[in-house]
């Protein structure tokens, strides 16, 4: 079966907020076995949390929407934030070998 790699950015955090919740955020993804190879990093230059996750499937649109929902749930659960607005963007969704 094919895999889809989805990359999502999350804006609206500061570095301290990311540092506080990042480890638990990543740990949660490891509990969701349908999400493989989860990665997250803080891009301090652009103040973005960048999340990359792979899923089994061959429909990038469908898979990226599912990953988007999972990332949204985990952000809400594991990060405290002072911003009134958090913005999520799907940067890329592609079938990988």
Alpha carbons 29 and 32: distance in angstroms, whole number: 5
Q: Where are the domains of the chain?
A: 3-96
CA 42 vs CA 20, 62, 63, 72, 97: distances in Å: 12, 26, 23, 16, 27
At 2-12, the pLDDT tens digits run 999 999 999 99
61 neighbors 4 (Cβ within 8 angstroms): no
**Averaged over 37-63, what is the pLDDT?**
97
pLDDT of residue 89: 98
The CATH number assigned to the domain with range 3-96 reads 3.30.70.600
3 neighbors 95 (Cβ within 8 angstroms): yes
Q: State yes or no: pLDDT of 83 exceeds 70.
A: no
């Amino acid at each position: 079966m094919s895999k889809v790699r989805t990359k999502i950015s999350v804006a609206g955090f500061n570095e301290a907020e990311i540092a506080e919740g990042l480890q638990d955020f990543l740990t949660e993804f490891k509990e969701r076995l349908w999400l493989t190879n989860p990665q997250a990093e803080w891009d301090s230059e652009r103040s973005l949390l960048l999340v990359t996750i792979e899923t089994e499937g061959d429909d990038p649109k469908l898979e990226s929407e599912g990953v988007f929902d999972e990332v949204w749930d985990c952000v809400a659960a594991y990060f405290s934030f002072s911003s009134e607005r958090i913005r999520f963007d799907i940067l890329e969704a592609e079938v990988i070998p």
